[in-house]
Structure 1
Amino acid sequence: MEDVTYTKGLYTATATVRPLDGGEYRGVVSLARDEGEELENTIYEVEATSASEEEALEEAKALAHRILGEIEF
């Protein structure tokens, strides 16, 4: 499944899916802040697990939107 990337200013959020034991999936968001020479990365996980990759990716995309929406410049 393809990762989905969103950008806001210096921030890039990448939503992806991680398979878990038992056939479930968890959405994950990697938030990168590009300040020229220095790149900061923070990882966020969706709290709930999902039965499908598609559902987990939708949860990760929603989380990415929330994270970027809270960023103030």
Structure 2
Amino acid sequence: MEDVTYTKGIYTAVATVRDADGGQYQGLVSLARDDGEAPENSVYEVDTLSGTPEEALEEAKALAHRILGELEL
């Protein structure tokens, strides 16, 4: 499954999916900040597990939008 990338100013969020226990999937968002100095990276996990990778990716995309929406530039 393809990762989805979003940017806002100096921030880049990448939504992705990983396998979880019991045949379920979890969405993840990797947030990178590149302001010309040492890049800062954070990883956020979707709180719930999903039954399909498509559902997990949709949850990760929603989380990425929330994270980027809260950022002050």
Sequence identity percentage: 73
Opposite residue 64 of structure 2, the aligned amino acid is A
Q: In 2, distance between residues paired with 1:61 and 1:21?
A: 21
Q: In 1, distance between residues paired with 2:70 and 2:37?
A: 24
How many residues of Structure 1 are paired with residues of Structure 2 in the alignment? 73
- State whether structure 2 residue 30 is matched by structure 1 residue 67: no
Equivalent residue number for residue 54 of structure 2: 54
Structure 1 ranges of 4+ moved more than 3 A: none
Consecutive unaligned residues of structure 2, counting only runs of 5 or more, are: none
SS at match of 2:48: coil
Greater fraction strand: 1
Please list, as runs of the form range in 1=range in 2, the aligned pairs for 1:24-63 lying within 5 A after superposition: 24-63=24-63
Q: In 2, distance between residues paired with 1:37 and 1:10?
A: 11
Equivalent residue number for residue 9 of structure 1: 9
Q: In 2, distance between residues paired with 1:64 and 1:58?
A: 10
Q: In 2, distance between residues paired with 1:35 and 1:9?
A: 9
**Backbone CA RMSD of aligned residues:** 0.6
